[in-house]
Amino acid sequence: MKHARQPAGDAIGHPLLLACGLADHLGFQLRMAQAAVWSDLVAALQPFGLRPSQYSVLLILRATPGSRQQDIGEALGIQRPNLAAMIDGLEKRGLIRREVNPADRRSHALSLTAEGLALLVEADAAHGRHERRLAEWLGDADADALLPVLRRVATSAGDERP
């Protein structure tokens, strides 16, 4: 499988980045790292016709069958119209089914189909290879230390926005 390459050049040592100071900006370096990771993940899931957000929805539905579309959108930070289009596409592909929620007939309960589960199992293997590449890029100790830091940044960022 061909993997997308990381952003061109050395994001830390490129002369233009050094000259303007971006090489020392934490936010810029996080963005460059995010771009590299995202590109690799997109490439890993592409053979299955899945985008990372679609893969995330399938993971949630495997773990919590019958989840409401609204709850999935909130968990993933996906706006309602975007999620509706995504759910429609997954349903048309036969990967999920939408049924009236017995607890609230105004909402839908979503679940994986057998085809969706089979595709997810295959995509899980590719995602596992992606995660192992990340661990190789970081080294095991840094990978273990980075996850709680990223969680803290993600949860704190919303609290301090101007």
Tell me what the mean pLDDT of segment 10-21 comes to: 78
Residues 82-139: tens digit of each pLDDT: 999 999 999 999 999 999 877 777 888 999 999 999 999 999 999 999 999 999 998 8
Mean pLDDT for the chain?
Answer: 88
Residues 26-76: tens digit of each pLDDT: 888 888 889 999 999 999 999 999 999 999 999 999 999 999 999 999 999
pLDDT score, position 158:
65
CATH of domain 38-155: 1.10.10.10
Q: Does the pLDDT at position 141 exceed 80? A: yes
Q: Collect contacts of 56-64 with beta carbons under 8 A, ≥24 apart.
A: 57/86, 57/87, 57/90, 57/96, 58/90, 58/95, 58/96, 58/112, 58/116, 58/119, 58/120, 58/123, 59/120, 61/96, 61/110, 61/111, 61/112, 61/116, 62/112, 62/117, 62/120
User: Where are the chain's structural domains?
Assistant: 38-155
Look at residues 148, 57, 33, 48 and name the one whose alpha carbon lies nearest to residue 110: 57
pLDDT score, position 9:
46
Residues 19-39: tens digit of each pLDDT: 888 888 888 888 888 999 999
Comparing 13 with 82, the larger pLDDT belongs to: 82
Q: Does the pLDDT at position 3 exceed 50? A: no
Tell me what the mean pLDDT of segment 130-158 comes to: 88
φ, ψ dihedrals at 82, nearest 5°: -70, -40
Angle made by CA atoms 80, 149, 146, in degrees to the nearest 5? 105
